[in-house]
C-alpha cells in the first residue's frame, strides 16, 4: 500500500467550491477552485479533484484525509428542502415549536412574522406519558398508544421522526423505548431522539434542535454516502472528516447521525484559519472577514481565540432581528453572516433607491459577467467595471468575463431607472455593499467588547481582498492582512482545526446540595460517550478532555460557564466553584451577589485528539519588485472620485520584504487585492500581504 501524506480540504460555498491539497512532508500547498453545482454539490467535488489530478497525477491514492465543509444543511433549512418530518412529544407540548419563548422580537410591529415550524401541526402528535423534573416516572408510557401514534405518522408519509419528551434529559427511558418501537414498526424511517441530540434543559430549544436534526438527517445521510462513494470511485482510501459548527472536525458517520452540528460547517473554516493566524502573529484583536460569492462571514478573534456560543438562529424572517429565526442549541463559532457577496444582486427598490443584496445570483446563473444567463447586475459586475478585476485573468484566466454584458445590465437596470450617471451606479453598488458589511461589523465588534479602530482585518474569500480596504476604511481599522491563497482561505482552516467533539448534559441541582460524586459520574459518562464518537472516526491517539459547568443564581434564566481544570470533581471544594463563579460573573456584569445561592444547570465535556502539525511554508526570495509588476490599469478610486492608474502586481512574484505604496492591484489566481492610494503594502516571509491604512477614517 502506498504511503499517504496528503490532506485535502474541500469547502463548498454558495458560488464556488474550493480545494486545498497539503503535502505533510514538505508543507507544499496546491489549490483549485471551481463553480459549485447546487443540484448535486458532489459533482463539483469530483470535478475539482479531477482538475487537481491533471497537475498532480496519483495524489488521490496518497491522500490520508479529506476534510469537508458544506453549506448543504443550512441551505436545506432556509430553502425548506428537508425531509417530511413528524414529531412525537409529551401530551400538552404539541405546540411548543410555535409557542417558543413567547417573546416577540419586534414588540411594536403588529405585522411581525415568525418562521414556520419545520413540522406542521398535523404531523406533531402526543403520547400520554410524563417524567418528573428529577427523572422519576409520573406516568408510564402506554406502548399500545405509542405504536398507534407511530403508525399514524407512517401513514402520513413521513421520512423522519423526531422524539422529544418532557424532562427526558434526566431520564431517557421513554424516548429510548419509543425509538425501539419506531425501528420495529418502520425500520427504514430515520429517527432522532432528544436525549441523543441535546440532553439539555429548556423544552423549546431542545425540541427545535431535535426537529431540525430529524429534518435534515435523511438528506445529509444520502449526500455524505454519495460523496464517500464518489471519493472511493476516484481512488481515495483516506478518511473523510466533516467540519463541525463548533470549529472541530468529526467523522462522516457522526455528521450523518447529528447533521444539526454541521449547520455552520462551511463558514466556520475561515474563522479557524483566522484563529491560527492570530496566534501565529500574536494579534490581540483580529476581525476575520470572509466574502465569497453569496455571503460574507465575519468573526472577532481576541487573543487568538474565536468565541463559541451555545445557541444560534437560522432562517431568520428578518435578517438582522434576533428572535425571528429557528433556534438551534448546539456549540457554534460566534460568527456573523450576512447576504453580501460577489453575487449579491443590485436592483432599484420600491422607494426608487439602490438596493444591493441580500439575495444572490449564486453559481447558477451567477453575475451577468459570468456569461451563464444571468440578467441581474451583481457586485462582481460592478467590481469588474471599476477596473478591480481583469476580465482575462479571472480564476487565472480559466473563466473569461463578459465586461460589455455587465455594462449593459447596470446601465439598463440601475443607472437609467435611477436617473444617475453610469459611474455613480457602478460605484454605488460597490460602496453600498461595503457600507452594509461595515454596519453589521461595527455591531458585531461592539457586542464582543472590541474596538474597530484597533482591529487587524484579515480578508478571505474570492471577493474579500477586493473589498477589504474599503471595509477597513469605513471601520477605521488601521491594518489589513491578506494571507496567501486568500481566495481559498476557508479550506486552509480545515488543516488547523482540532479533531474534537462536544457533549453536554443537564442536571439541575443547587451548589450546596450537589453530590460531587454524582457529578463526577456525569462527567465520566460524557467522556466515555465522546471517546466512542472519536474512536468511530478511527482515532487511535490519546484523547484529552476539558470540562466546564454552567452555573447561575437560583431563579435566573441564563447561565455563566466556568472551566473545571481538575480531573476529579470529587476533589474540588464547593467554595472554589463559588469563588470562580463570582469572579467571572463580576467581570461580565460589574458585580455579584455573595448572599444569593447558586445552582448547577449543565455539565460539558470537549474531547480532543492531538492536533496534526501544520506549518506555513515560507515563500521563495523571488525577484525584484519590478519583476512582479505586470503593468498599470485604470481603476476607480473612491478617494479621488475618478479613474486613476493602479499599478498591477503578480502576487506569486512578490518576494519577502517587498514594500510599496498604493494605489495597487495585486492579482493571484483565486482573488485580487485592491489597495487604495492611502495604503502602504508590505510582504512578509510567509507571503502575507500587510496593508497599513494611512488614511483610515
Q: Are residues 87 and 167 in the same domain?
A: yes
Q: Where is the domain boundary, 413, 431, 449?
A: 431
In this model, does residue 71 exceed pLDDT 80? no
Q: Are residues 596 and 505 in the same domain?
A: yes
Q: Are residues 55 and 91 in the same domain?
A: no
**Omega before residue 535 within 30° of 0, cis:** no
Instruction: Tell me what percent of the residues of the chain surpass a pLDDT of 70.
Output: 97
Q: Are residues 209 and 110 in the same domain?
A: yes
pLDDT digits (tens, 9 = 90+) for 400-416: 899 999 999 999 999 99
Q: Are residues 639 and 574 in the same domain?
A: no
The pLDDT value given to residue 659? 93
pLDDT band, residue 516 (cuts 50/70/90): very high
In this model, does residue 696 exceed pLDDT 50? no
Residues 463-480 have a mean pLDDT of 94
- DSSP code at position 609: P
State the CATH number of the domain containing residue 550: 3.30.1490
Residues 52-69 have a mean pLDDT of 88
Q: Are residues 86 and 210 in the same domain?
A: yes
In a domain, 322, yes or no: no
In a domain, 488, yes or no: no
Q: Are residues 99 and 215 in the same domain?
A: yes
Note the pTM of the prediction, 2 decimals: 0.82
Pairing of strands 296-302, 336-338: antiparallel
In a domain, 471, yes or no: no
pLDDT band, residue 344 (cuts 50/70/90): confident
In a domain, 487, yes or no: no
The pLDDT value given to residue 319? 59
Q: Are residues 236 and 206 in the same domain?
A: no
Distance CA(483)–CA(690), nearest Å, equals 9
Q: How far is CA 453 from the centre of its chain?
A: 25
Q: Where is the domain boundary, 416, 431, 446?
A: 431
Q: Which residue has the higher pLDDT, 152 or 335?
A: 152
pLDDT digits (tens, 9 = 90+) for 100-114: 887 777 778 777 778
In a domain, 366, yes or no: yes
In a domain, 227, yes or no: yes
Can you read off the three cell numbers belonging to residue 402?
Answer: 463578459
Look at the chain and report how many structural domains it folds into: 5
Instruction: Tell me what percent of the residues of the chain surpass a pLDDT of 90.
Output: 51
Q: Are residues 62 and 89 in the same domain?
A: no
In a domain, 270, yes or no: no
Comparing 149-153, 393-397, 564-568, 664-668, which segment has the lowest mean pLDDT? 393-397
Can you read off the three cell numbers belonging to residue 427?
Answer: 460605484
State the CATH number of the domain containing residue 130: 3.40.50
pLDDT digits (tens, 9 = 90+) for 345-375: 999 988 889 988 777 787 678 899 988 888 9
Residue 335: partners with Cβ closer than 8 Å, 6 or more residues away: 264, 267, 268, 271, 297, 298, 299, 306
Cell 452594509 -> residue: 436
Q: Where is the domain boundary, 207, 231, 262?
A: 262
The pLDDT value given to residue 2? 61
Residue 542: partners with Cβ closer than 8 Å, 6 or more residues away: 609, 610
Residues 310-337 have a mean pLDDT of 79
CA-based Rg of the chain, rounded to a whole angstrom?
26
- Reduce the secondary structure of 526-556 to three states and give it as a string: HHHHHHHHHHHCCCCCCCEEEEEEEEEECCC
pLDDT band, residue 538 (cuts 50/70/90): low
State the CATH number of the domain containing residue 240: 3.30.420.40
Q: Are residues 92 and 181 in the same domain?
A: yes
The pLDDT value given to residue 363? 63
pLDDT digits (tens, 9 = 90+) for 560-615: 999 999 999 999 999 999 999 999 999 888 899 999 999 999 999 998 887 776 77
Q: Are residues 636 and 564 in the same domain?
A: no
Distance CA(52)–CA(59), nearest Å, equals 9
Q: Are residues 510 and 569 in the same domain?
A: yes
In a domain, 546, yes or no: yes
The pLDDT value given to residue 415? 93
Mean pLDDT rounded to a whole number for the chain:
88
Q: Which residue has the higher pLDDT, 54 or 447?
A: 54
**Omega before residue 358 within 30° of 0, cis:** yes
Q: What share of the chain is helix, strand, coil (3-state, %, to 5)?
A: 35, 25, 40
pLDDT band, residue 525 (cuts 50/70/90): very high
Total length of the chain: 697
Q: Domain range holding 672?
A: 625-693
Residues 258-287 have a mean pLDDT of 86
Amino acid at each position: 500500500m502506498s504511503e499517504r501524506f496528503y490532506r485535502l480540504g474541500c469547502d463548498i460555498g454558495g458560488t464556488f467550491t474550493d480545494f486545498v491539497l497539503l503535502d505533510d512532508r514538505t508543507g507544499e500547498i496546491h489549490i483549485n477552485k471551481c463553480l459549485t453545482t447546487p443540484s448535486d454539490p458532489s459533482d463539483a467535488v469530483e470535478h475539482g479533484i479531477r482538475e487537481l489530478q491533471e497537475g498532480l497525477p496519483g495524489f488521490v491514492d496518497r491522500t490520508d484525509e479529506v476534510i469537508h465543509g458544506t453549506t448543504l444543511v443550512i441551505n436545506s433549512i432556509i430553502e425548506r428542502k428537508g425531509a417530511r418530518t413528524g414529531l412525537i412529544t409529551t401530551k400538552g407540548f404539541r405546540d411548543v415549536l410555535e409557542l417558543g419563548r413567547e417573546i416577540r422580537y419586534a414588540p411594536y410591529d403588529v405585522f411581525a412574522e415568525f418562521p414556520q415550524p419545520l413540522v406542521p401541526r398535523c404531523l406533531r402528535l402526543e403520547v400520554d406519558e410524563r417524567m418528573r423534573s428529577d427523572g422519576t416516572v409520573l406516568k408510564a408510557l402506554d406502548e399500545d398508544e405509542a405504536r398507534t401514534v407511530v403508525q399514524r405518522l407512517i401513514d402520513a408519509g413521513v421520512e423522519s421522526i423526531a422524539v422529544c419528551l418532557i424532562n427526558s434529559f434526566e431520564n431517557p427511558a421513554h424516548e429510548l423505548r419509543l425509538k425501539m418501537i419506531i425501528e420495529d414498526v418502520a425500520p427504514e424511517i430515520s429517527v432522532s431522539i432528544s436525549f441523543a441530540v441535546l440532553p439539555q434543559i429548556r423544552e423549546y430549544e431542545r425540541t427545535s434542535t431535535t426537529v431540525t436534526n430529524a429534518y435534515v438527517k435523511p438528506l445529509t445521510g444520502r449526500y455524505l454516502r454519495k460523496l464517500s462513494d464518489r471519493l472511493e470511485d476516484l481512488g481515495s482510501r483516506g478518511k473523510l472528516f466533516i467540519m463541525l459548527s463548533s470549529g472541530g472536525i468529526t467523522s462522516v458517520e457522526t455528521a450523518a447521525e447529528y447533521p444539526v452540528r454541521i449547520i455552520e460547517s462551511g463558514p466556520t473554516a475561515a474563522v479557524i484559519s483566522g484563529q491560527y493566524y492570530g496566534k501565529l502573529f500574536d494579534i490581540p484583536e483580529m476581525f476575520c472577514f470572509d466574502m465569497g460569492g453569496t455571503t460574507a462571514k465575519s468573526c472577532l478573534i481576541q487573543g487568538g481565540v474565536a468565541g463559541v456560543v451555545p445557541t444560534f438562529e437560522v432562517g431568520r424572517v428578518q435578517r438582522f432581528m434576533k428572535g425571528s429565526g429557528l433556534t438551534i442549541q448546539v456549540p457554534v463559532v460566534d460568527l456573523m453572516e450576512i447576504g453580501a457577496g460577489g453575487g449579491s444582486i443590485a436592483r432599484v427598490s420600491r422607494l426608487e433607491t439602490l438596493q444591493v443584496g441580500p439575495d444572490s445570483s449564486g453559481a447558477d446563473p451567477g453575475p451577468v459577467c459570468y456569461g451563464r444567463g444571468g440578467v441581474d447586475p451583481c457586485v462582481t459586475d460592478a467590481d469588474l467595471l471599476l477596473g478591480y478585476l481583469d476580465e482575462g485573468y479571472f480564476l487565472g484566466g480559466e473563466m473569461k468575463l463578459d465586461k460589455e454584458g455587465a455594462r449593459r445590465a447596470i446601465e439598463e437596470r440601475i443607472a437609467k431607472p435611477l436617473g444617475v450617471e453610469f459611474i455613480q451606479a457602478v460605484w454605488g453598488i460597490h460602496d453600498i455593499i461595503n457600507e452594509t458589511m461595515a454596519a453589521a461589523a461595527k455591531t458585531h465588534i461592539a457586542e464582543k467588547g472590541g474596538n474597530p479602530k484597533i482591529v487587524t482585518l484579515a480578508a478571505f474569500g474570492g471577493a474579500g481582498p477586493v473589498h477589504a480596504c474599503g471595509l477597513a476604511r469605513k471601520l477605521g481599522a488601521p491594518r489589513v492582512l491578506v494571507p496567501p491563497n486568500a481566495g481559498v482561505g476557508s479550506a486552509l482552516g480545515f488543516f488547523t482545526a482540532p479533531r474534537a467533539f462536544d457533549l453536554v448534559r443537564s442536571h439541575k441541582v443547587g451548589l450546596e446540595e450537589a453530590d460531587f460524586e454524582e457529578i463526577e459520574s456525569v462527567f465520566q459518562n460524557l467522556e466515555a460517550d465522546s471517546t466512542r464518537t472519536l474512536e468511530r472516526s478511527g482515532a487511535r491517539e490519546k484523547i484529552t478532555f476539558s470540562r466546564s459547568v454552567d452555573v447561575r443564581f437560583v431563579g435566573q434564566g441564563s447561565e455563566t460557564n466556568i472551566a473545571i481544570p481538575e480531573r476529579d470533581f470529587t476533589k474540588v471544594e464547593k467554595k472554589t466553584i463559588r469563588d470562580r463563579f463570582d469572579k467571572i460573573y463580576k467581570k461580565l456584569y460589574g458585580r455579584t451577589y455573595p448572599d444569593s445561592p447558586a445552582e448547577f444547570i449543565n455539565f460539558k465535556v470537549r474531547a480532543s485528539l492531538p492536533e496534526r502539525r501544520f506549518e506555513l511554508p515560507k515563500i521563495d526570495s523571488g525577484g525584484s519588485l519590478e519583476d512582479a509588476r505586470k503593468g498599470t490599469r485604470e481603476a476607480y478610486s473612491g478617494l479621488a472620485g475618478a479613474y486613476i492608474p493602479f499599478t498591477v502586481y503578480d502576487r506569486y512574484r512578490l518576494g519577502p520584504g517587498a514594500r510599496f505604496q498604493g494605489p495597487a492591484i495585486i492579482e493571484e489566481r483565486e482573488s485580487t487585492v485592491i489597495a487604495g492610494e492611502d495604503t502602504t503594502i508590505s510582504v512578509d516571509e510567509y507571503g502575507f500581504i500587510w496593508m497599513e491604512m494611512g488614511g483610515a477614517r
